Copies of this chain bind each other. A is one copy, B any other.
């Protein structure tokens, strides 16, 4: 009998703990539908163990499930619930190895400094587990992000606070007038498969190959650069304006993602703002090995090593600078952490919405709230932020009870640079030329650059672009909302994308699709006009705007982007359902281990599972020609149950003794059973779950008491990275009453 299979990923930390409680519920409720749920281990520990089938004894070997999923995502039957996992740092990796060794897994130590061939190979295997290794394997599709109906409705009923904006607010977005990535961009569509090389050519014609990359026909290759002189002049102008207007100065970049270019841009802001520091103490700074891109915090650390007098001189200069320059936007004014302390502290996609939420205000050095200039140097992305900021100044703060929703279809598949271009970001070592040359020697892109300019290239794959257009059209058809391609005819990269969009569109039936192509600022204007009228719009964007908008609008609409659905419709037809942003919450694990109270909110899992079920329904239909309406009913009733869950505020609370993750799962089950009992499409299901609902309802207090009974004492899971299944399941399913009701469904 053909069934759909949903893969539930086993991952790390808090969501992994929650899974012990939640997964049985999901399996129990879906038992009668043609859908199976498989657990596949892609936790850090699981990935480590999978590296050593040759070393581990047979009973301790585990399959390489990430590799399995890496193949699955390229099959149409893929349907994966992707929960948050650890992107391991080296210390985390070493901790995990140690824990596994202590559990009796004969793993080798991590060879910090491998000498032998064997050690090198071991290090290589371990290194495969470090950093963000899961997403690049699984995200074989573009991005479909939106708010679930239940979440949106909850926010309309329980609106979060958005501060009013003073009509004469002096806050504004400032971008460069010239010399930015936007202006200098060149872009080509590759005519036939080739290998391109990135070349720097000095004034004497000497060439240096910086990198070689294979590209395919139809791929879009861009090159552009940031003129550093223009950048610093821009910062000077903005700082002058901030000073004259007596408002806060701030810089908003994304140094976490654009990890090569953006710290340098950030550093140039430091260079200009703290100019006197460089003039007076240039030699000392050099001696310290400090570079502006490290941020002021790093400088503060480094000067500790200086003789008292030198240190004090530097501190004094900094204090004098603060008197002279405009006040800085603060990350943490209590602790004196400024915008310029750490390149990663102010992350544009979070920081700009925060300023918007706060009525276009930032925090100043004395903890005061004040107007602020938001420096966002590059016009590629700054203009749309300017548009929304000016819109708010003109039309007032948004009203979450009235606004529509803005969904996003993002070009993300196959890396989809603009993001991820850090391996193709170069700093010309001298004045000269940057060139992109193909195998046949054709110069595809050429720029005259100056030493130190930031030159970068992005490659966007043909297949990814076409899939993205298809996804946009599908979303338009599913929703009836207009789709807007945020593409600027006057930007080289976008111009090529527009060409492809126009080539693709006629391949579809567009009779029921309202579509537009608009430059980001115009797209924002159009979208906001609808948004304020309560109308819904789909933004269809590149990878950077995807990232920015999927924070911006959810934060305005429901107060957070964590409650947003994140779906990756896989290119091959499958679906990847990501649950929640914001990591795997180690602090929650600490609390659980210490006092037996877990406060992980599984809302993301609930919402994603609704979509996963809907997708399973479609898969059964298209792949097996099977129309199992029960799956749809399960999805729809779960969606309603989530609405009730939110309305009745059954999310886990912070303190021991209050409702925790396990109790929240009970309520989800209660409401889901209630909804299933109340639906009228499938009588059998209704009857079955009427009984379940009655049992749950009757035992509500008893179940909650049984859960509460295990709180207030340490929880022994038998491992942080690799908990003991039996122990942990017992801890996470403490209510026998609840377990009996659930387990009876599984028989």
A→B interface (CB under 8 Å)? 167-168, 172, 174, 177-179, 182-183, 237, 241, 244-245, 379, 390-391, 393-395, 489-490, 499, 516, 521-522, 525-526, 529
Contacts and interface: CB of A to CB of B under 8 A. Distances in A.
13 contacts: A168-B516, A174-B490, A177-B182, A177-B183, A177-B490, A237-B490, A241-B489, A241-B490, A244-B489, A244-B499, A393-B522, A394-B522, A395-B529
Given A237-B490, A394-B522, 10 more contacts: A168-B516, A174-B490, A177-B178, A177-B379, A178-B178, A178-B183, A244-B499, A390-B521, A390-B525, A395-B529
A429 B390 CA distance: 43
A179 B227 CA distance: 14
Q: Which among A183, A244, A490, A529 has the highest number of chain B CB atoms within 10 Å?
A: A490
A394 B529 contact: yes
Contacts of A379: 177
Contact of A178 (B174, B179, B395, B522): B179
A661 to B, nearest CB: 45
B394 A525 contact: yes
Q: State the copy count for this chain.
A: 2
Given A174-B490, A237-B490, A245-B489, A394 B526 contact: yes
A173 to B, nearest CB: 10
A453 to B, nearest CB: 15
Please give me the 7 A-B residue pairs with the lowest Cβ-Cβ distance, nearest first: A178-B178, A177-B183, A394-B529, A394-B526, A390-B522, A241-B489, A394-B525
Contacts of A244: 489, 499
A698 B529 CA distance: 57
A178 to B, nearest CB: 4
A154 B96 CA distance: 81
Nearest to A396: B529
Contacts of A167: 516
Contacts of A526: 393-394
A489 B245 CA distance: 9
Contacts of A393: 522, 526
Contacts of A390: 521-522, 525
A245 B489 CA distance: 9
Contacts of A237: 490
Q: Which among A178, A245, A526 has the highest number of chain B CB atoms within 10 Å?
A: A178
Contacts of A525: 390-391, 394
A102 to B, nearest CB: 61
Contacts of A499: 244
A147 B391 CA distance: 28
Nearest to A492: B237
A350 B172 CA distance: 32
A176 B40 CA distance: 55
A480 to B, nearest CB: 15
A331 to B, nearest CB: 26
A280 B548 CA distance: 50
Nearest to A238: B490
A394 B391 CA distance: 13
Nearest to A499: B244
Contacts of A490: 174, 177, 237, 241
A526 B391 CA distance: 8
A245 B526 CA distance: 20
Contacts of A179: 178
A256 to B, nearest CB: 28
A177 B177 CA distance: 7
A393 B237 CA distance: 33
Contacts of A177: 178, 182-183, 379, 490
A177 B488 CA distance: 13
A414 to B, nearest CB: 27
Nearest to A237: B490
Contacts of A183: 177-178
Nearest to A168: B516
A472 to B, nearest CB: 16
A172 B518 CA distance: 10
A60 to B, nearest CB: 62
A344 to B, nearest CB: 28
A182 B176 CA distance: 12
Contacts of A529: 394-395
Contacts of A522: 172, 390, 393-394
Contacts of A516: 167-168
Contacts of A174: 490
A499 B244 CA distance: 9
Contacts of A245: 489
A513 to B, nearest CB: 12
A489 B171 CA distance: 12
Nearest to A177: B183
